[in-house]
Amino acid sequence: MNSISQTSNQNSIVRTEQLDVKKLWDDALVKIELSITAANFKTWFRDTHIVSLEDGTITLGVPSVFVRDWLSDKFQSMILKVLRELTPHVRSIEYAVVQRNDKKPETSKTQTINAALPLEDYYINKSDNLNPKYSFDTFVVGSFNALPHTAAKTVVEKPGIAYNPLFIHGKTGFGKTHLIQAVGNSLKKQRKKVFYVTSERFAVDYFNALQNGSANNFKDKYRQYDVLIMDDVQFLADKEKTQEELFHLFNAFHDTNKQIVFSSDVHPALLSGLEERLQSRFAQGMIVDIPAPDLESRVAILRAKAAQNSITLSEEVIQHLATTIEGNIRELEGALNTIMCQSQLLGRTLSLDEVKQIIKNSTRPRRSLAVSDVVDKIARYFDIDPASIYEKTRRKEVVKPRQLIMYILREDFAVSYPAIGQKLGGRDHTTVIHSCEKIRNDLKDNPELEEEVTQVRLLLK
């Protein structure tokens, strides 16, 4: 079913559209199947489905963390392209690990989009690349990000004068992009010509301009704006020509009191492969850091995000999420999305035990850990010698940690059964399978073991 109605008034267009999300995904799968190998399609797209389509964001349900990570890393661009070919209302994709109950009837295959928004605010504006969902109203302020938030608000009040440039740095998922785009969206309301671009896109565009002999057009394009916001400048490392162009563009903006905002994963002084004169320019204004959110801030973020998404969470669930998921705001939001999707599928609020199970299935330790690191950390957690894990001993105090190590290597790191056996003292793969199955079965009715697994996973983050 597809119906569109539009009503105009002075300031906005109310747009209501009903989309059959099941049909949308079925049509998308047909196109995807024609674009990839049969093996890839069967492996990665089986048991996937659209959970929701809200404000231009598709939430795609997937059966496991491994599938989620693989689709995000390898097929994100293709999926987005296919969906946008089928409907213009898809802006971005998020993933949620959900377990479908095929015996349960789907209560709603049709999603309604009803947006009383100015139409220009409904999509990312291609002329400035700003995402309207990133605003100061939706930015949760805590003790960890109060300074960058204040600096950003000051820039909005006195653009080109107060802090120019504003340079915000911090690790991935701490809210840099949200904050710098909030600056852009606020200045846009002041009738400023704003342009947001990643450094990688800037470099590609400049390279293409040089190849096409249109370098002057490139310069004119960027110099027309009042505000330039550049994300992830660390990717300009060792791109000498692009750095030189940015240097001259910086001077042109700064000399005419036009605002410049940068973000990076590290302090500009620590950016390797960057010209000293550019680092000096970055330091001319205000440099602020967004560190990892503390526990109190994570709780505040969860409450705010739950309220924004109309999710009901008990205080014990909020505390569990804030304690379990440390550091990355994006992971907190991902956990909330997963909980919301599961809650929608079941038609009720989830219990703490259900949330614990979801978080266990939706979070994954660092994949860069070596097997020896996993062995060492878990052995020390149980206060035994790591060397005993590799021995042929059947001592009770060693057997359980060894089985748990096998289970974690299989479930969280997707190591094959034969490889686990080989790494842990040359054991047969059937021994590994038995150990993993035992832990899985024991977890069903052993709260103490479940808590141990949770603590071990936290150690491996």
- What average pLDDT does range 425-431 have in this prediction? 88
pLDDT band at 349 (very low <50, low <70, confident <90, very high): confident
Higher-pLDDT residue of 311, 289: 289
Task: Using the predicted structure, report yes or no on whether residue 344 has a pLDDT greater than 80.
Answer: no
Is omega for the bond preceding 165 within 30 degrees of 0, making it cis? yes
| Mean pLDDT, range 343-362, rounded to an integer | 79
Three-class secondary structure of residue 412 per DSSP:
coil
| Element at 52 (helix H, strand E) | strand 49-54
Confirm if 155 and 259 have CB atoms less than 8 A apart.
yes
Extract the runs of DSSP E, i.e. beta strands, from 80-218: 92-97, 110-117, 166-169, 194-198
317 or 89, which is more confident? 317
Structure-block tokens of residue 291 = 């560190």
Burial 342-359 (b: 16+ CB within 10 A, else e): bbbbeeeebeeebbbbbb
Of residues 67 and 252, more confidently modeled: 252
Cα(122)–Cα(15) distance, integer angstroms: 10
Q: How far apart are CA 166 and CA 430, in angstroms?
A: 58
Which segment, 10-14, 65-69, 144-148, 269-273, is predicted with the most confidence on average? 144-148
- The answer on pLDDT for 63 being more than 90 is no
Q: Which helix (H) or strand (E) holds 3?
A: strand 2-8
pLDDT of residue 327: 62
Only one residue has tokens 């590799």, namely 390
| Nearest CA among 23, 60, 22 for reference residue 44 | 60
Over residues 402-409, the mean pLDDT reads: 93
Helix runs in 259-347, H state only? 276-282, 295-308, 315-324, 329-346
Mean residue pLDDT across the chain = 82
Give residue 443's pLDDT.
85
Residue 233 · residue 264 · CB < 8 Å: yes
Determine the pLDDT at residue 368.
Answer: 58
Amino acid (one-letter) located at 431: T
Q: Are 61 and 48 in contact (CB under 8 A)?
A: yes
**Within 10 A of 125 (CB to CB), how many other CB atoms are there?**
16
- Once rounded to an integer, what is the mean pLDDT over residues 340-369? 73
- What's residue 106's pLDDT? 38
User: What is the DSSP secondary structure assignment for residue 74, as one 8-state letter?
Assistant: I
Give mean pLDDT, residues 404-421. Answer: 86
Query: How confident is the model over 7-36, as pLDDT tens digits?
Result: 333 333 333 345 678 888 988 998 888 888
